[in-house]
Amino acid sequence: MQYIINQFQLANAVQAPQPIKVGFINDSFRVMAAEQGGKSYFLQRINHNIFRDVEGLQNNIQRVTEHIRHLLTEAGETDIDRKVLQLVPTHDGKLYYQTPEGDYWRVYVLIENALSYERIDAHSAYLAGQAFGNFQCQLASIDTDTLVESIPDFHNLAFRIQQLHEALANDAAGRKAATQDIADYLLERADAMCIAEKLYADGKLVKRVNHCDTKVNNMLFDQDGQPMCIVDLDTVMPGFVLSDFGDFIRTAANTGAEDDPNLENIHVNMEIFEAYAKGYLSTATFLTDLEKSLLPYGCKRMSFMQAVRFYIDYLNGDTYYQIAYPEHNLVRTKAQIRLFEEQEAVEEQMNAIIAQAIWLTKLVSTNSLKASK
Ligand code: GN1
Ligand code: MG
């Protein structure tokens, strides 16, 4: 392990890498400075069965982080190293190191004294909404053609449905028969849930550069509770902004856990939804009226897509997501379906909150226009 970290241009001596649990895809390690005051690092083995184009993936991250760094510098921000991730190159200037065995590794500078949460309160949700809105504004000035899809068709629901059909046909783990009710449930709703894909095909909905994994725990907060940095940039690529909005709500406004075995725990926390929506709409100034009106659908879409993805992995015999116990992907599927149902039940309320938030944003911008005259 020491031999791997030594391939990178580190500023100082470091201690042995310590494994930490971050996400379900890559393997992560914290690498602390050998002496106080030195730089510490975040080392990851990239799951290249999932990210097949590691070069493209790393170039995306470099492109996005450099762009944000530039915007922050222009805006006169301070403490920029804590506000945007920084990749560390290898001694020969590459953004990753490939071992002779074919594993891919990368290193970021570790952002210290940062906090991430599985749950947040309404006040932090408002701030997080503003921060994600700002993040998308920053990404808006990146030409979509300069980024690759680090996982092709990643948030394409029509493609995920096709994968579901394939997984059912193959029934690789022999789990189909016992879960036929889940397959039926998802397939019955599949067409109606592909609204975004249809609107895109009709030229009505655009794709923008998105994060594509806006789980609540992918935002770092500072010690004073202010959002500081958005992390996990593996999936930054062109997509529908509704997905980014929806994924935050899927994770932050669920009163239960993503894999809650007790479905009774799962409800939509409307206070969090409202706070996040208001924060987000106050900064995501580029949204079209269509995009705004589709935000509640974006929430349902992400819970539904996540249910489909977990169920596919269950059918395939758990080849994609890391699991903690044999039926984990089935438990996750059921929990996401319940969340989807809970979101359907409050859809009208979500629509009303979005309409009110839009009205508020307009009021604030009219008032500030008057004040500046
Ligand atoms: C995966 O590994 P992590 O937690 O960053 C997945 C997301 C899912 C999420 C479900 C590349 O993200 O798409 O929403 O699990 N990432 C990839 O919690 O598939
Ligand atoms: Mg991720």
What pLDDT is stored for residue 362 in this prediction?
A: 78
The owner of tokens 């906090």 is 115
**23 CA from centroid of ligand 2 (Å):** 6
pLDDT at 367 > cutoff 80? no
Q: What average pLDDT is seen over the chain?
A: 95
Task: Report, as an integer, the average pLDDT of 261-290.
Answer: 96
User: Ligand 1: which of 21, 22, 25 to mutate, judged by most atoms within 8 Å of the beta carbon?
Assistant: 25
306 lines ligand 1 (CB under 6 A): yes
244 lines ligand 1 (CB under 6 A): no
What pLDDT is stored for residue 58 in this prediction?
A: 97
Q: Give whole-number Cα distances, 338 to 153, 294, 348, in Å.
A: 25, 21, 18
- Residues forming beta bridges with residue 106, ordered by sequence position: 44
pLDDT at 370 > cutoff 90? no
User: Ligand 1: which of 22, 24, 311 to mutate, judged by most atoms within 8 Å of the beta carbon?
Assistant: 24
The owner of tokens 């409202």 is 274
pLDDT at 373 > cutoff 70? no
**24 CA from centroid of ligand 1 (Å):** 6
Task: Report, as an integer, the average pLDDT of 73-95.
Answer: 96
Q: Which ligand is nearest to the CA of 47?
A: 1
**91 CA from centroid of ligand 2 (Å):** 27
232 lines ligand 1 (CB under 6 A): yes
pLDDT at 192 > cutoff 80? yes
pLDDT at 1 > cutoff 90? no
What pLDDT is stored for residue 22 in this prediction?
A: 87
**26 CA from centroid of ligand 2 (Å):** 9
Which residue owns the Cα nearest ligand 1 atom 15?
Answer: 24
pLDDT-derived band at 144, boundaries 50, 70, 90: confident
Which residues are within 8 A (CB) of 350 and not within 5 positions of it... i.e. 6 or more apart?
Answer: 268, 270, 273, 277, 295, 296, 299, 343
pLDDT-derived band at 369, boundaries 50, 70, 90: low
pLDDT at 293 > cutoff 70? yes
Q: Which ligand is nearest to the CA of 254?
A: 1
**306 CA from centroid of ligand 1 (Å):** 9
Give the integer Cα–Cα distance in Å for 141 and 338. Answer: 37
Which pTM was predicted? 0.92
**370 CA from centroid of ligand 2 (Å):** 43
Q: Which has more pLDDT, 369 or 330?
A: 330
24 lines ligand 1 (CB under 6 A): yes
Cβ atoms 132, 244 nearer than 8 A: yes
Residue 25 CA: nearest ligand 1 atom is 2
Structure tokens at 53: 């184009």
Residue 257: name the closest of 273, 270, 271, 269 by CA.
Answer: 269
Task: Report, as an integer, the average pLDDT of 46-68.
Answer: 96
313 lines ligand 1 (CB under 6 A): no
Task: Report, as an integer, the average pLDDT of 13-33.
Answer: 95
Which residue owns the Cα nearest ligand 1 atom 7?
Answer: 213
pLDDT digits (tens, 9 = 90+) for 105-131: 999 999 999 999 999 999 999 999 999
Rounded to 5°, angle at Cα 180 from 177 and 185:
170
The contacts found for 270-273 with CB under 8 angstroms, 24 or more apart, are: 270/346, 270/349, 270/350, 270/353, 271/122, 271/125, 272/120, 272/121, 272/122, 272/125, 273/249, 273/299, 273/350, 273/353
> In this structure, how many other beta carbons lie within 10 angstroms of the beta carbon of residue 288?
12
Task: Report, as an integer, the average pLDDT of 22-37.
Answer: 94
Q: Which amino acid is at 85?
A: L
> In this structure, how many other beta carbons lie within 10 angstroms of the beta carbon of residue 21?
8
Task: Report, as an integer, the average pLDDT of 324-336.
Answer: 98
**323 CA from centroid of ligand 2 (Å):** 15
Task: Report, as an integer, the average pLDDT of 277-303.
Answer: 96
Burial class (CB in 10 A: 0-12, 13-18, 19+), 345: exposed
Give the integer Cα–Cα distance in Å for 314 and 46. Answer: 22
What pLDDT is stored for residue 186 in this prediction?
A: 98
Residue 235 CA: nearest ligand 1 atom is 11
**226 CA from centroid of ligand 1 (Å):** 24
Which residues are within 8 A (CB) of 300 and not within 5 positions of it... i.e. 6 or more apart?
Answer: 193, 246, 340, 343, 344, 347
Cβ atoms 183, 171 nearer than 8 A: no
pLDDT-derived band at 16, boundaries 50, 70, 90: very high
pLDDT at 355 > cutoff 90? yes
pLDDT digits (tens, 9 = 90+) for 210-252: 999 999 999 999 999 999 999 999 999 989 999 999 999 999 9
What pLDDT is stored for residue 132 in this prediction?
A: 95
Which residue owns the Cα nearest ligand 1 atom 8?
Answer: 213
Q: Which ligand is nearest to the CA of 151?
A: 1
Which residues are within 8 A (CB) of 70 and not within 5 positions of it... i.e. 6 or more apart?
Answer: none
